[in-house]
Amino acid sequence: MKRLITPAAAALAVAFTALGSSSLAFAEAHSPLPRLPGPPSNDVITYEERMPNGSLIGSGLTMFGFSYLPSVVVAASSSRAGDSALYVPIVGPWVDLARRDSDCARSPCPGDTGNKVLLVASGVFQGLGALQVLGGFLFPTTRTVTQTTGVHVLPSVGVNQLGLTAVGAF
């Protein structure tokens, strides 16, 4: 009978060991208890941010300004009636070009080819500048932003004071 008890005890010991280790693993995996405090964790937040294309808007405003400002100066200083259309941005040069020959006694006006070329250039550059500004808002730039969050509590020691300091990024 002694022979039967030894193998049965060994088998029972193996069964309890297997059950005990699996129940311990199950308890650790599904434990509602919080983990022991350790060093503070830094949460990393990464997201994409869309904003207007500043370089496209800036170059468009520059192009528009360098072509519109001379048009305003000509409109203010010219005695020709058709040049008053140059006060209107973008379409002013084209309106002035269409009325250009009606202000002269002879059509086409002699020696006016250079002014017509400047009107076309002004109209083209004003239009392209306005399109660049519009494009800066329609086609924004995208950049990836990464932020870390976390709070660190540090001891604070000074003359006649002892305390804690919380430092963090939110």
Which tens digits make up the pLDDT trace of 18-40?
Answer: 444 444 444 444 445 455 455 55
CB 50 within 8 A of CB 142: yes
pTM: 0.59
CB 113 within 8 A of CB 119: no
Domain ranges, ordered by start, for the chain: 1-33, 54-138
Best CA proximity match to 166, nearest among 143, 144, 150, 146: 150
Which tens digits make up the pLDDT trace of 59-99?
Answer: 999 999 999 999 999 999 998 888 999 999 999 999 999 98
